[in-house]
Amino acid sequence: MVSGGLLEGLLPADVVVVELFADPPSVDLFPQEAEIVAQAVDKRRREFATVRLCARTALARLGHAPGPILPMDEGPAWARRAPRWPDGIVGSMTHCDGYRAAAVARSEQVASVGVDAEPNAPVPDGVREMVTLPEERVTLDRLALSHPDVAWDRMLFSAKESVFKAWFPLTGRWLDFTECVVTPDPEHGTFTGELKVPGPVVDGVRLEGFTGQWRSSNGLLATAVVVART
């Protein structure tokens, strides 16, 4: 495991983060997990297994015994990709080439958490227009000139992924890319995600948006959103 990694330090102390920058030679999966990726290509099996190793290691630090981490078994196809965490736990997992990570917390301390990692490279042709709003594209163009070392369209995509991962457990609903306006702060490594639809109610307060942290390092970008209890 890596200390001082990509996500570590972006989240509060209540959230346990475990990261790996390479896949171990082998990772033991529970039979239910192995069945899910039995027909998958090797790359998919390795990232699936390693990110669960990260998650189980993080859960162990919260006192949870090892167990299978399975996707949801109900709802539309997009919802069934979300992981089912043990009772009393909220969490998020992410993986991209050269990076796997999981972040977990006790639900009595944190209402929701979302993390995402991406390569620090522009999104593919056509994706920028699909995932951004006109006002966001103005911001992206400005940041590309002032801070050219960051692929801002990819950072914004990652931020929206983290927002969605924090949003979904609180609402059970889809959040479209056009329903959240992300504004990055390049100087402080933060961003805001202003909702254009009614937000979830957490501890009696309706959220109007999310705040997050981001970092770029060694060719990677990471974003994180934590909804704390009040």
Per-residue pLDDT tens digits for 82-110: 899 999 999 999 999 999 999 999 999 99
Residue 123, judged by CB atoms within 10 A of its CB (0-12, 13-18, 19+), counts as buried
Calculate the CA dihedral of residues 184, 6, 178, 208 and round it to 10 degrees. -70
Quick one: average pLDDT of 38-56?
A: 96
Q: Transcribe 187-215 into DSSP letters.
A: TTTEEEEEESSPPPEETTEE-SEEEEEEE
The C-alpha atoms of residue 70 and residue 143 are separated, in whole angstroms, by: 39
Query: Is residue 64 predicted with pLDDT exceeding 70?
Result: yes
What are the helix (H) ranges across 116-179? Answer: 127-131, 134-146, 152-171
Query: Is residue 4 predicted with pLDDT exceeding 60?
Result: no
Percent above pLDDT 90 for the chain: 92
**Lookup result for tokens 């705040």:** 211
This prediction has a pTM of 0.94
Per-residue pLDDT tens digits for 103-150: 999 999 999 999 999 999 999 999 999 999 999 999 999 999 999 999
Predicted pLDDT at 3 = 40
Quick one: average pLDDT of 187-207?
A: 97
Are the C-beta atoms of residues 184 and 156 closer than 8 Å to each other?
Answer: yes
Predicted pLDDT at 225 = 98
- Averaged pLDDT of the chain: 94
**Lookup result for tokens 């993986």:** 95
| Alpha-carbon distances of 83 from 40, 46, 114, 145, rounded to whole Å | 18, 17, 12, 38
Predicted pLDDT at 2 = 39
Are the C-beta atoms of residues 82 and 55 closer than 8 Å to each other?
Answer: no
The alpha carbon of residue 198 and the mean position of all alpha carbons in its chain are separated, in whole angstroms, by 21
| Alpha-carbon distances of 184 from 67, 144, 193, 202, rounded to whole Å | 37, 12, 9, 24
Percent above pLDDT 70 for the chain: 97
Are the C-beta atoms of residues 100 and 19 closer than 8 Å to each other?
Answer: yes
Predicted pLDDT at 9 = 87
Quick one: average pLDDT of 36-59?
A: 96
> What residues contact residue 157 under an 8 Å CB cut-off, 6+ apart?
118, 123, 127, 131
Residue 88, judged by CB atoms within 10 A of its CB (0-12, 13-18, 19+), counts as exposed
Quick one: average pLDDT of 9-29?
A: 95
